Amino acid sequence: MAYVAARGGEAAIQAAEALALRHLAEVSADQIAWVEAHLSLLVDRVMGEASLYAPRLAALALVQSGGELEGAVLLLRAYRSTQPRIQAAQPVTDASMTSLRRVSAAFKDIPGGQHLGATLDYSHRMLRLDLLDQGRSALPAVSVAQTPAPAHAESVSLWLRREGLLPQLPDLAGEVVFDVTREPLTFPAPRAARLQSLARAETGGVLALGYANMVGYSGVHPTVGEVRLAQAEVTLRHPVSGELFSAGRVRVSRGEIVAPTPEGASASGGAQGSLSLGCCAALGWNETKLIAGGVLDLAMDQPQAHPALQEEFVLNHTESVEASGFCLHFKLPHYVTFASELDRVRAERTRNAQPDIAAFEPPEVSV
Amino acid sequence: MSTLADLAAPRADYTFAFLDEHAKREVRRSLLKAVCIPGYQVPYASREVPMARGWGTGGLQVTLSVIGERDTLKVTDQGADDSVNAVNIRRFVARMTGVVTTTDTLEATLIQSRHRIPEERLREGQILILQVPLPDPFSYLEPSRSKARELHADSDYALLWLRLYEDLTRRGEVMTGADHPVSVHGHYVMAPSPIPRFDVPKLHQAPHLTLLSAGREKKLYAVPPYTDVQPLAFTDVPFQIERQEGWVCAQSGVSGGFMTELPLPGGGARYVLSDTGLLDKLVRARRGEAVTVGETYTELGPEASP
């Protein structure tokens, strides 16, 4: 095996890592399974931002990073880099996902019905201090509905399209989908690249920029056409027989935001006198992401979008792994580059302290 | 009859040099393009690697994509082989490839570096891989990457010249620190990664290949061997390197290499060579050990007693 050039730095980083990883000594596989089962929304967020649906690995990443979210996302994305892409799955459609929660703010009732599903939206946000004493919560009884909610439902946007309020969707059958994990993102970004970038963007960043828009910067007044949490079938084509088969189910969520089309808007919108649709979908369930991301999708198409709400700005700066990594890299030694800066500052100081050094005279320019 | 298990290779959690082969091939294709268009920033997908963005992931992807089993790897950060992040990158590449590592510039076939070019002359066949945080010389002047791309396409470098000119007229000095823009073979202007101005002349007509890669920004570019690299400068205001006259290395006693300034308690400073691979050899030579010190880019001043 390799001869490794080792000096002080190596012993130091190994000792520091050992100190930080002491918590792992007590972690069992069962506890990682517990994280997967009980912190499922956190696991969802890691999977969504990592673009890799692997609940057990996401739980492991969370445990391994001590719960540091960007760290867990990076662990999972780095693991993803070791895996080849075999093929693109069949598109997930309304008919191929089992809807478990679906609400619309745009209409009192919608075709297929409003279904709250499982939500803490209307719970009182009070700490359940009794859990600290009892250690186990008494589960409230859940009763089965007389008529089950329909497993599949058409999206509200489809109804709006039929009414002529939203433009018809282009036919994308047979198109190769752009993949932001395999191709560099350039601007203006293809539609697929924008939606994928939003899907894996850092939720806090999407929220911050989306919120800025909601309160007035290049303001879009959003209405939630639909928020849907679902289980989607991942359908692949067998590489040899060509048969379609299900590789399993994944939790997905999708938000549709509608707003009147502003004057001069493009991309997602239709003509004047119609609505525009902002869309955001994610692997895993993450409602904040859906709404803020859907609003940003609309905001990015505003003709006079605020600089912080333009596509390049939004997509480049909500990238969790890139933003957090670059932020933290300033901890690394920079003494060589700082020496260069210091050299310039000292040169400037010397010049200022000696007024008899002739100031630079701009040369005469002849045209 | 043979079973599937007999035919399959033994299970391995990770492949040679970590990245899947498609990813490596994509990087190599982009590198070929970069070599063909010196100084041009080639976009590439840039996979996540087990290291935070901004910590050398661009350089690391290039290293992982070009490294072979018989390479000898050197990794430095600020010139130091034992700097924590350099150690970490070297440890990772060695773990994923099993290659031999070294601190000696002369022994290395691949050198991944952050912010420095070694003091000993690189030769034909060696590859220098520089980690780049901000690949675009327009970074602080035109933050939109799309607009900057258009400026490069038009060879419109007026903003960069204007910046130098404004520094001169307003402050009396060109204030570019460690990322002085350079013109590559008379066309593209590139950010040299950042390296101190002291290192910039080392790129001009160099016999080695320099690959520069920014993982976060997903761009890589190259300076092929024997390529003109000229710092942007006005004809009547010559390009200046850092002023380190009289700075003598406290450990080796030499002057003339790029020095690191170490503040002393109570004021004042002492200096040591930033290139620790060279420093190590000079110190060992003083002790009478047989070491081979290569020819250096700049003449190392007469030894004074440290």
* pLDDT reported for residue A147: 87
Please name the member of B18, B86, B116 whose beta carbon is closest to the beta carbon of A336. Answer: B116
Q: What is the pLDDT of residues B32-82, one digit of tens each?
A: 999 999 999 999 999 999 999 999 999 999 999 999 999 999 999 999 999
Per the domain annotation, does B96 fall within a domain?
yes
Per the domain annotation, does B245 fall within a domain?
no
- pTM to 2 decimals? 0.86
Please name the member of A332, A340, A348 whose beta carbon is closest to the beta carbon of B173. Answer: A348
Please give the residue of chain A at the shortest CA–CA distance from B89: A10
Residues of B in contact with A339 (CB under 8 A): 178, 196, 242, 260-261
Which CATH number characterizes residue B94's domain? 3.40.50.11310
* pLDDT reported for residue A274: 87
* pLDDT reported for residue A4: 37
Does B194 sit within 8 Å of A324, measured CB to CB? no
User: Given the DSSP bridges, would you call strands B209-214 and A97-103 parallel, antiparallel or unpaired?
Assistant: unpaired
Domain that holds residue A72: 11-80
Residues A58, A113, single domain; the answer is: no
Q: CB-based burial of residue A129 (10 Å sphere; 0-12 exposed, 13-18 middle, 19+ buried)?
A: exposed
Task: For residues B304 and B306, give the distance between their C-alpha atoms in angstroms, rounded to a whole number.
Answer: 6
Q: What is the pLDDT of residues B90-128, one digit of tens each?
A: 999 999 999 999 999 999 999 999 999 999 999 999 999
The DSSP letter of residue B188 is E
Residues B57, B190, single domain; the answer is: yes
Per the domain annotation, does A29 fall within a domain?
yes
Is residue B219 a contact partner of residue A322, using CB atoms and an 8 Å limit? no
Residues A107, A25, single domain; the answer is: no
* pLDDT reported for residue A85: 86
Q: What angle do CA B224, B227, B233 make, to 5 degrees?
A: 125
Task: For residues B128 and B149, give the distance between their C-alpha atoms in angstroms, rounded to a whole number.
Answer: 25
Residues of B in contact with A6 (CB under 8 A): 87
Per the domain annotation, does A341 fall within a domain?
no
Token digits of residue B41: 């920033």
Residues A205, A300, single domain; the answer is: yes
Q: What is the pLDDT of residues B123-168, one digit of tens each?
A: 999 999 999 999 999 998 998 888 999 999 999 999 999 999 999 9
Give the distance, in angstroms, between the CA of residue A107 and the centroid of all CA atoms in the same chain: 27
The DSSP letter of residue B275 is -
Residues A102, A24, single domain; the answer is: no
Give the distance, in angstroms, between the CA of residue B223 and the centroid of all CA atoms in the same chain: 11
Task: For residues B219 and B222, give the distance between their C-alpha atoms in angstroms, rounded to a whole number.
Answer: 11
Is residue B73 a contact partner of residue B108, using CB atoms and an 8 Å limit? yes
* pLDDT reported for residue A1: 31
Residues B220, B294, single domain; the answer is: no
Maximal C-alpha separation, chain B: 83
Token digits of residue A96: 């191929």
Q: What is the pLDDT of residues A163-180, one digit of tens each?
A: 999 988 888 878 888 999
Residues A155, A271, single domain; the answer is: yes
Task: For residues A226 and A209, give the distance between their C-alpha atoms in angstroms, rounded to a whole number.
Answer: 21
- Going from the C-alpha of B218 to that of each of A224, B50, B57, B135, the distances in angstroms are 35, 16, 10, 9
* pLDDT reported for residue B15: 87
Per the domain annotation, does B9 fall within a domain?
no
Is residue A219 a contact partner of residue A296, using CB atoms and an 8 Å limit? no
Please give the residue of chain A at the shortest CA–CA distance from B78: A336
Residues B175, B32, single domain; the answer is: yes
Is residue A287 a contact partner of residue A298, using CB atoms and an 8 Å limit? no
Does A78 sit within 8 Å of B194, measured CB to CB? no
CA neighbor of A279 nearest in space, from A309, A306, A300, A262:
A300
Q: Which amino acid is at A213?
A: N
Q: What is the pLDDT of residues B238-285, one digit of tens each?
A: 999 999 999 999 999 999 999 999 999 999 999 999 999 999 999 999
What value does the mean pLDDT take over residues A13-31? 89
Per the domain annotation, does B247 fall within a domain?
no
Residues A45, A145, single domain; the answer is: no
Domain that holds residue B298: 259-304
Nearest-CA distance B262 → chain A (Å): 10
Please give the residue of chain B at the shortest CA–CA distance from A357: B172
Please state which of the ranges A188-192, B151-155, B265-269, B300-304 shows the lowest mean pLDDT.
B300-304
What is the interface pTM, i.e. ipTM, of the complex? 0.84
